[in-house]
Chains A and B, each alone.
Chain A
Amino acid sequence: KSSVQTIGEEQIQNPYTELLVLKGHQDIVRFLVQIDDCRFASAGDDGIIFLWNAQTGEKLFELHGHTHKITAIAPFSSSDASEEKKHLILTASADRTVIVWDCSSGRQVQKVSCFHSTVKCLTVLQRLDVWLSGGSDLCVWNRKLDLLCKTSHLTDAGISALVELPKNCVAAAVGRELIIFRLVASNDGSEGWNVLEVKRLVDHQDNILSLVSVNDLIFVTGSHVGELIVWDALDWTKQASECNFWDSSVHPDVQPEIKLSQSPNETSVQHLTSDEECVFAAVGKGIYVYNLQMKRVIACQRTAHDSSVLHIERLPNRQLISCSEDGSVRIWELREKQQLPAEPVPTGFFNMWGFGRANKQANQAAKKMQENTPVYFLELVGDLIGHSSAVQMFLYFGELGLATCSADHLVILWKDGERESRLRSLTLFQKLAQNGDLQLKF
């Protein structure tokens, strides 16, 4: 009955055959952030931040300091050439504080508690060595946690997302508005910055939920009603927009029935990610791939999950991972559809895509489209089932594996069983050599 694509128990391409459950949190775990090659932090509604070793799953530190849930977290590593690289993390909480933690010692470095509202987003501008906090106003801080400048009170709802743009600019999503700020060096001091509001963009119909910078020229925003707008990063003009993910006419493979069932909630753009060519949007339960060059959606999976997709990420190997409120994590691969104009497309294939009887007309339309452009599709290559509640976020660690965090208070580390087995053998023989057990005893 469910139109969600499923994959059998045989998943050859799924490398994750080992899992480690990391227990510690006492409430929903919402954030995962990578600190360096083998460490990451998790934080959530219990106000505790845990530092983990991504290889062994060892709990490194348990950071206590916030009294309310964590609302934002950002890594902040120093780039001082003089000293060794120092890894810090910034955490903002509903208790209206921001704390800076030292990841190597697990100690609280400093705490700022002069906020008038909860800080909802944190952004580090590595280039300028400052960090921004966004709540009901936007503040600029330096490394020593001196407040450099701040904007006037913007809105009660506060800034929901921040993204760095070229030329010392930042885009802040405030409700349905997108405000561009520019940081300018103050005339008097050496280290002073002033923040100026440059432009307000009001093209979105509803609250902006996601904001992502694609490259130095383009950034993309997505809103609650499923609008996706591509902006020029330099002059902040609208380059393209896609506002009808639910509109069947745009897509070859959309059925009219589905349109009726679509509610605004199910079309909200929850999360965006991108590579050089495409923007990947988590829209409602589905995943859409928007090609920036062609300025259209090239592939989509309307019902990729049983419920809202919360986070998606693009892997270097053309794979895409999504996690959802239904508690599962799925691995997709963007594949080019075989150009087989002569052969009729097997219905089974379309079944997989979520529409029952192959619509002849749609099929015809599709064929027309295929003539000049390659057609892509997202194929499910594996799913990870472990969490018993919504998977809030995940963090891809390359060959070390994948960390997922969930509302069931757990963080799960998914690993490649083959690789782990090999590593264990290596450790084993190292230990054998160390113990001198390799020598023959007589």
Chain B
Amino acid sequence: MISAPDVVAFTREEELEDELCSEPPLPEEYSVPLFPFASHGANPWAKVASSKFTRDFILISEFSEQVGPQPLLTIPDDAKVSGTFDLNYFSLRIMSVDYQASFVGHPPGSAYPKLNFVEDSKVVLGDSKEGAFAYVHHLTLYDLEARGFVRPFCMAYISADEHKIMQQFQELSAEFSKASECLKTGNRKAFANELEKKLKDLDYTRTVLHNETEIQKKANDKGYYTTQAIEKANELASVEKSIIEHQDLLKQIRSYPYRKLKRSDFHPYEPEGALDQANAGCDQDLTTSDLADPGETQLYAHVPSYTPKLIKAKSAKCFDKKLKTLEELCDIYFFTQTLDQLHQIERTFRGDVCYLLTDQISRALLKQQSVTNFLFEDVSFLDEKPPEKQYRGCQGLSQDAVDRKCSEESPAPKVVISLGSYKSSVECVPIKMEQEIEDPEEPKMTESIMFEHQENLDYLDADIKGSISSGESIEVLGTEKSASGLTKSESQASLPVSPSPQVGRSKVGSRRTVSEDSIEVLSTCPSESLIPEDFKASYPSAINEEPYVDDEEGGLHFTPKLNPDNADEQEDISKRENLVQVDSACCIGKESPNFLEPLPDLGQKPCNEDGVVRIPPQPYRQVEPGLRGSFGSFPSHDGISGGLLPYELDSRYLTGSREVSKSSLDECSDSTSYISSAASTCSDRTPSPAHLACQASERHKKKAGQNALRFIRQYPFAHPAIYSLLSGRTLIVLGEEEAIVKKLVTALSIFVPNCGIYAKPVKHWVTSPLHVVDFQKWKLIGLQRMVSPAGVNMLHTLSRYSRYVSILDADSKTLRCPLYKGTLVSRLADHRTQIKRGSTYYMHVQSILTQLCSKAFLFTFCHHLHLPISEREPEESVVNRRMNFLKLQLGLANEDIKIVQYLAELLKLQYIQEPGQGVNPLLRFDYVPSFLYKI
């Protein structure tokens, strides 16, 4: 299963290929090596040959308070996957960049320990030496026995391809956030349970102590207290205090989801469809924190009966006890759920990044074709939730409304220059303090107000600066390579304990405590001193060229060069520049030059030799329809080093063309592509399904494509048969053997247009006589030929309804159907095609059908082709115009017109269909003569 994509290239398709082209192979001396380095075991896609693992995997690590960073488990759980890759070392690396755990425990001025509900942090980390790049998701789990009650963990997606991590950042982040949310929900449940147990213990201890004290009191009535009695009293007092503390903790943990729910964009992890309840919980009264989210209270409710234990006054030292495992920390149900999710993530992101990107792009584009996409697209695809929803659950506290809007509407990558966030983080310091308020009711109110306030601040910031500065911030922390003069260990240490920037750090930290997710690009690039001077000079202009997103209009603008606000900005920048120069060792100070440095030349060389991660994450964003038009204007801005946009476009085109060239390679010869997957050393390069849901259909596509390919090669009359399907005439595949008929039906099903958004009108196997209703419902039917009297009856009905159907006889290899003289189908199904793989052929078919759809769309939605321009215009002239359009404008010949007309009818029916009431299935037909084709 896991290695399926690799295997497929060598087995199934190969066999078939051999079978199909029986020509003797070319003598070896005449054959040209397809790829010059193929013999060396390299492949053109292997950029990082140094990586020590074979494919992408997910690593879960913990920063243990006893032994330090340690790897816990990998997904897939297979030693071969990580190979010689040093998981311990990498754990150390990824755990050392954790910024989220700011402070937990007794805050100054507070009597009780506070749980800090920190947000997960998301970091991208690269290690060119190891050839490993990782998306690292830090999270904190609660453990009563741990120091400060917290246990820092992280989940990392490790790949040898930095492009993949960067380009899929948004998706990875969304998916990992979901998994993290699941894990944390389970953890909160477990933590609450633990607290309850502890409270019972304490309660019991108190009773015991109390009794003992009473007994002692009674025992000596001398009027003075023994030391023993005083000790007992002290002990009792400390237990009392402990009880209060723990009760407070319990209250806090229970109030958590409820507190989160106030944010509209927060979606708690729901085990099984309790979402409605949760939403109802939003509106509930806020007075007591016990009135937490019903979903979670329910979870906490079922605590098994527990016999309290006596607690010793002196607890054991932390090193003596064994820390809880991840399973113990988290409710088992949620733990397995999380693992399932992680497995799914692994599957989803398996494969080459260009495949993933192309898939995402085509998906997003298809989603926009809302009028026509039902015709030939997968039903499963259409059922999918819109992408915005997928992101919702993970946004958490960090994404305020402005940001969401920005990110949804901006076609450009979410480039967040830390300039803005840096500034706003300074402003946010006092706000952070507001969070720690005793009253369980009060803080929430103020908090939300503060949040709003902060949002406004951010928004304002964004407005003034012309940059998108709220929400996630990308910070590039440069760690010096040993080459830069610092020793390795220093570079490691420099991350958390960088020499000077205590101020800066605490600011960043506090900001995160409030709301931020941070994306940090840690590159092991040469230190700042090595950065060429001209980069520094260029960055202010780069900022000016940043895309400015106006969330009100939803349009994309560029801030003009001479924006009055820019003066401010310039000042700011120069200030920062000063800061950089003054404190060159400050890693935060460095972030900006480091980050901006690659911008101007990103378009030219997106990847550097040293494998440094420099490309900012650029998720594919769905482009709003209105924005499409403005794409055309980009190149004009491009001239003045247009920020990131040109690159964004470039890269998209690049990946696009890469994919194209790949598929054309596929078309010419399969050998290259399989070499690539065979020789793949760094990560799993074989295209794999991007979405689990589609995995089955992917296989189906492949199979259908292969069968179709075989069909068009085998049957010289494939064209009229396909024409029948495309023009809406039911095709009946008649045969005795179910397997053969079903195979043919599967093959032909890729040509059948859908009549609605329901399942394809294909019936694989029918044994009863057909009726007119069946032709209305099904457009492709596999029919059993029987030798009984019933069979005769069936043939009789077939000949009776012959005007509605084309009949493909699988046994005698004949076809009875109308004549086809068009040109379209011959492009669709050329029996001399060089395509050999089923999936390639499927894609070829899809592309031609998509072309066809666009023609049908044009035809359907041109007003004057269907309706008279003026009142008096006779119908004939409209008909003439229509035919002229079809013939001249769309370049259709003969029967091709009927195909487009049929598709247009389907489009019309789909469009005018009233929601709620289904399409009245109607049968359209023509009175045209049929012919009998034989092999």
Contact = CB atoms under 8 A, between A and B. Distances in A.
B797 A424 contact: no
A20 B928 contact: no
A21 interface: yes
B925 interface: yes
Given A12-B927, A17-B927, A442-B626, A421 B773 contact: no
B801 A385 contact: yes
A376 B926 CA distance: 29
A21 B773 CA distance: 7
A388 interface: yes
Nearest to A412: B772
Given A9-B802, A56-B920, A424-B905, A388 B930 contact: no
Contact of A10 (B800, B866, B928): B928
A293 B677 CA distance: 90
Given A9-B929, A10-B928, A388 B905 contact: no
Interface in B482-496: none
Interface in B760-790: 771-773, 776
B625 interface: yes
B423 interface: no
Contacts of A441: 625-626
A8 B905 CA distance: 26
A442 B633 CA distance: 13
A18 B908 contact: no
Contacts, number: 92
Contact of B867 (A19, A387, A408, A426): A426
A169 to B, nearest CB: 45
Nearest to B624: A441
A19 B928 contact: no
A350 interface: no
B909 A424 contact: yes
A388 B768 CA distance: 14
Contacts of B803: 9, 385
A419 to B, nearest CB: 10
A166 to B, nearest CB: 43
Given A10-B929, A424-B908, A428-B912, A18 B797 contact: no
A214 B912 CA distance: 44
B860 interface: yes
Interface in A1-57: 8-12, 14, 17-21, 23, 56-57
Contacts of A21: 772-773, 776, 921, 923
B922 A422 contact: no
Nearest to A413: B922
B928 A58 contact: no
B924 A417 contact: yes
Q: Is the interface of A mostly helix, strand, loop or mixed?
A: mixed
A417 B922 CA distance: 10
Contacts of B908: 421, 424-425, 427-428
Given A19-B772, A421-B905, A429 B927 contact: no
A45 to B, nearest CB: 19
A417 B866 CA distance: 14
Contacts of A259: none
Contacts of B629: 442
Contact of A20 (B920, B926, B927): B920
A386 interface: yes
A21 B776 CA distance: 8
A18 B923 contact: yes
A58 B920 contact: yes
Contacts of B802: 9
B89 interface: no
B626 A8 contact: no
A222 interface: no
A116 interface: no
Contacts of A9: 802-803, 927-930
A431 interface: yes
A16 B659 CA distance: 48
Interface in B853-877: 860-861, 863, 866-867
A17 B772 contact: no
A429 B867 contact: yes
A9 B800 CA distance: 11
B772 to A, nearest CB: 4
A428 B929 contact: no
Contacts of A417: 924-925
15 contacts: A9-B928, A14-B927, A17-B927, A18-B922, A18-B925, A20-B922, A20-B923, A386-B772, A388-B771, A388-B772, A424-B905, A425-B860, A426-B866, A428-B861, A429-B863
The 4 residue pairs across chains A and B that have the minimum distance between CB atoms:
A425-B866, A11-B927, A424-B908, A386-B772
Given A386-B772, A412-B772, A424-B909, 17 more contacts: A9-B803, A9-B928, A14-B927, A17-B924, A18-B922, A18-B924, A21-B772, A21-B776, A388-B797, A410-B773, A415-B922, A421-B908, A425-B866, A426-B867, A429-B866, A431-B912, A442-B629
